[in-house]
Chain A
Amino acid sequence: MDDNKAPTPAELTILIAGAVMLVASFLTFAEKTNAWGTYLFPIATLLPLYGTVMALEIGLTKFAGVKLPERVVGFTMEQVHLVVGLLAGFMAIGWLVTDISKKGIGFWLEVLGGLALAAGGVILQRERHTGAIG
């Protein structure tokens, strides 16, 4: 593998979290329902959706050499990762304190994934020297 294609810790965090969240969305989230099931779709599907979008951006640009626009609605790609990651973390905390009963393995993986996305988005700022953190 080419050196410059080796993912950084933040990129790896986002890639793994996104993949885990996509898989976890098909596992039990609450009761016997997954994130795509009745009463949960699409509100519980937002977390895996955010994770998949972030992981796809990293995967496509890092490994497939796809050129994506440098800015999306005025946000740089690093800012997109920061914002989407923090919003995912915010939602993960929301789900953590909510009152749904019988939380399944999918639920816990989604919450952990959301927090990992937030961490990945923040660390990415430091790795890419955006000046946003520190």
Chain B
Amino acid sequence: MNKKLSPANIVILAAGAVMLIASFLSFYELSILGHGVSFTAWSGADGFGIFGVATVVVLCGVVMAAQVGVDTFAAGVDIPDKPLGLTWDQVHLALGFQATFMMIAFLIRSNGPLDFGIGFWLMLLSSIALLVGAIMRTNEAGSKPRAV
């Protein structure tokens, strides 16, 4: 039987989905003489280090959402209770922190001629939501024991 999603897991699942979709929208935009070019988290940007680096943020969100999705909806699938000795709450906290930290670093970084696109802003918001969801999970676990 499928488990019921807790509020924290709903936040993580939604934020992870938004993160994945946003990664295919424009991260940076460049306008030259009225002609616009956009770069996604997967396409790279000729030396601005998006593909590979911003993709780490996307993967953090996808892993978090996938764990919640599999644990909740795929009853037959066994996932380890404590990967590398960490509880899943700790894994979520670490990945949520990493995603937010990296997106804030992108926000602070000097962009030169590039402007932030809608994909960047959605990724920034969803990374913060992932961290909030991870903190909520930890607080939920504090009030009642949880295996995953």
**Interface bin, chain A:** 35 or more
* Given known A97-B51, A125-B85, contact A43–B138 (CB-CB < 8 A): no
Cβ-based interface call for A39 (8 A):
yes
Cβ-based interface call for A87 (8 A):
yes
CB of B56 to closest CB in A, whole Å: 4
Checking B51, B53, B109, B138 against A39 with a beta-carbon cut-off of 8 angstroms, the contacting residue is: B109
Residues of B within 8 A of A42 (CB): 105, 108-109
Q: Cβ of A100 and Cβ of B90 under 8 Å apart?
A: no
A133 to B109, CA, bound (A): 37
CB of B79 to closest CB in A, whole Å: 16
Q: Cβ of B46 and Cβ of A99 under 8 Å apart?
A: yes
A71 to B49, CA, bound (A): 35
A83 to B45, CA, bound (A): 29
Q: Cβ of A96 and Cβ of B49 under 8 Å apart?
A: no
A61 to B59, CA, bound (A): 33
Which A28-77 residues sit within 8 Å CB-CB of chain B?
Answer: 30-31, 38-46, 73-75
Q: Cβ of A100 and Cβ of B47 under 8 Å apart?
A: yes
Residues of A within 8 A of B55 (CB): 94
CB of A56 to closest CB in B, whole Å: 18
Residues of A within 8 A of B45 (CB): 99
Cβ-based interface call for A21 (8 A):
no
* Given known A73-B93, A75-B90, contact A87–B98 (CB-CB < 8 A): yes
Q: Cβ of B85 and Cβ of A130 under 8 Å apart?
A: yes
**B residues lining the A interface (CB < 8 Å):** 44-53, 55-56, 59, 84-86, 89-90, 93-94, 98, 101-102, 105-106, 108-112, 138
Other contacts beyond A43-B53, A79-B85: 16, CB < 8 A: A40-B49, A41-B110, A42-B105, A43-B106, A46-B101, A74-B93, A79-B90, A83-B86, A83-B90, A91-B102, A95-B49, A95-B53, A98-B52, A101-B46, A133-B84, A133-B85
**A residues lining the B interface (CB < 8 Å):** 30-31, 38-46, 73-75, 79, 82-83, 86-87, 90-91, 93-101, 125, 130-133
Supply 11 A–B pairs (Cβ within 8 Å), ascending by A.
A38-B110, A41-B108, A42-B105, A79-B86, A91-B56, A94-B56, A98-B50, A125-B85, A130-B85, A131-B85, A133-B85
